[in-house]
Structure 1
């Protein structure tokens, strides 16, 4: 009976450890806040990597332009995040078939492949809008120099039309982009980290932020970073799962010993005792 009670306590402790280990992972998978109604949302886009407009994750950015323009935005992505970029282009009332493309580049301006999503789409003749999406691979804390893995730092969004009829060049369009991410956690952790995140870009700041009136937009060093700062591999819930696994192994050993040892007096008692 004592062995059964001991085994029950071992199983209870194991379930408690599993719950504690799963808590950080569940907290990290919370979806991004609804970006609608943000008064500070950017309303312009840059025309190159150098003048890319900064946006934060969970923020909605809009811009007006002309068909044939290149529109650029930039956002931060940290270790363990899997960013998702979505774009919607509102087209003029009358137009020919148009092909639009959404590209994402890292801080070294290397084009990043999309895991899935409609990165390129053709809008039929006179369609009112076209929607694009790109789900990137999980951002790694460290990578081999020859690899093209996504690393923590600045990421650039480029939106443009790749197939236009001559009659559609210069027609007005309205674009909207949104960036969110899923926190993958320790399942994507690696042994290693960058000394600094890849934030080499230049970002366009509005006049009201810089105080320079002579040129309207002033180029300054980018200060993009996540709300909680750069992690760069310092912490991962993999440590929690490792500790929980060690504790479970120890508890399993104690429970197994209790079951095999048995309890009470020996079944055979020597004569005369």
Structure 2
């Protein structure tokens, strides 16, 4: 029994030693794999992505590395991204066109940006529409939106925080070129700014008070009321003459005159067109 116990103890020590040796050698073999690993898009390179064919199926477009995908000429491609108050977003799209030998002419590409209510947003900078020649290899489009506001009037079209949609389309191209394969690269970047740029105060009136005939000293601030004239030559304020018809506006006078004239014309017309009735003869 004692011999068997010693054998079991020796076997356990041997297994523990083997496990320690394996653990000590594992980091040495895994170290080269960790040093050469990088996350996709960390260096700004494009990553594979997708695109929708309508507003409801728009693919998410995150900030950072651009996304690349294959598409066909003539398809409508949709992406969606979010924007917060104070941000100014810029959307960029690069289309790698088919070989010139397979195309039949020039093509025009357009990128449009819509807000969550499907309202088309204006671009403050960038090339929103570009024409690619028949021998061009790529066409680049970009659109810089207005700064997103924290609030806006209901009737205005100012950009508000929320989801925005990007649509890429070929607006003008030869019909035989429909369906040719293209390679699309889309990206979105944003710059943070003041969320409420209109929150400042007015230090001075935009239009200062004007007092005809008064001269102010340099640096003096005009008072709320003009200075009263003095001296024997001061002009007195002109008072409007008051009479019987001073409180009646000219509109009422013209209305009453027009009514009287219409009545007279009506009586005159009746008298001119009235014919006397003939009495029937007694016989």
TM-score range, shorter chain: 0.5 to 0.7
SS of structure 2 residue aligned to 1:140: coil
Map of 1:103 onto structure 2: 112
Q: Is residue 140–residue 190 contact of structure 1 (8 Å, CA) maintained in 2? A: no
* 2:75 equivalent among 64, 69, 72: 69
Rounded Cα–Cα distance in structure 2 between residues aligned with 1:76 and 1:46: 16
Task: Give the superposition deviation at 1:182.
Answer: 1.2
Rounded Cα–Cα distance in structure 2 between residues aligned with 1:157 and 1:54: 10
Q: Tell whether 2:88 aligns with 1:79.
A: no
Task: Give the superposition deviation at 1:35.
Answer: 6.2
Q: Is residue 44–residue 64 contact of structure 2 (8 Å, CA) maintained in 1? A: no
* Higher normalized contact order (CA 8 Å, seq sep 6+, divided by chain length): 1
Q: Is residue 62–residue 176 contact of structure 1 (8 Å, CA) maintained in 2? A: yes
Q: Is residue 61–residue 177 contact of structure 1 (8 Å, CA) maintained in 2? A: yes
- 1:1-273 matches, within 5 Å, as 36-37=44-45, 41-94=47-100, 95=103, 96-185=105-194, 188-190=196-198
Larger Rg: 2
SS of structure 2 residue aligned to 1:115: coil
Q: Is residue 57–residue 76 contact of structure 1 (8 Å, CA) maintained in 2? A: no
Using structure 2 for the length normalisation, give the TM-score.
0.53
Runs (5+) with no aligned partner, structure 1: 1-32, 192-237, 239-273
Task: Give the superposition deviation at 1:106.
Answer: 0.6
Rounded Cα–Cα distance in structure 2 between residues aligned with 1:184 and 1:154: 18
SS of structure 2 residue aligned to 1:116: coil
Task: Give the superposition deviation at 1:184.
Answer: 2.0
Q: Is residue 142–residue 190 contact of structure 1 (8 Å, CA) maintained in 2? A: no
SS of structure 1 residue aligned to 2:151: coil
**Residue by residue, what CA displacement relative to the aligned partner does 1:239-269 show, whole Å, maximum 9, x if unpaired?**
xxxxxxxxxxxxxxxxxxxxxxxxxxxxxxx
Between Structure 1 and Structure 2, which shows a larger proportion of strand residues?
A: 1
**Residue by residue, what CA displacement relative to the aligned partner does 1:153-187 show, whole Å, maximum 9, x if unpaired?**
0000000100010111111011111100111225x
Using structure 1 for the length normalisation, give the TM-score.
0.55
**Residue by residue, what CA displacement relative to the aligned partner does 1:37-61 show, whole Å, maximum 9, x if unpaired?**
47xx452110000000002122312
**Residue by residue, what CA displacement relative to the aligned partner does 1:108-147 show, whole Å, maximum 9, x if unpaired?**
1110000011000000112100000100000001000000
**Residue by residue, what CA displacement relative to the aligned partner does 1:63-85 show, whole Å, maximum 9, x if unpaired?**
21111100000001000001000
Q: Is residue 58–residue 80 contact of structure 2 (8 Å, CA) maintained in 1? A: yes
Give the number of equivalent residue pairs: 157
Rounded Cα–Cα distance in structure 1 between residues aligned with 2:156 and 2:110: 24
Map of 1:253 onto structure 2: none
Rounded Cα–Cα distance in structure 1 between residues aligned with 2:94 and 2:52: 17
SS of structure 2 residue aligned to 1:114: coil
Runs (5+) with no aligned partner, structure 2: 1-40, 201-283
SS of structure 2 residue aligned to 1:100: strand
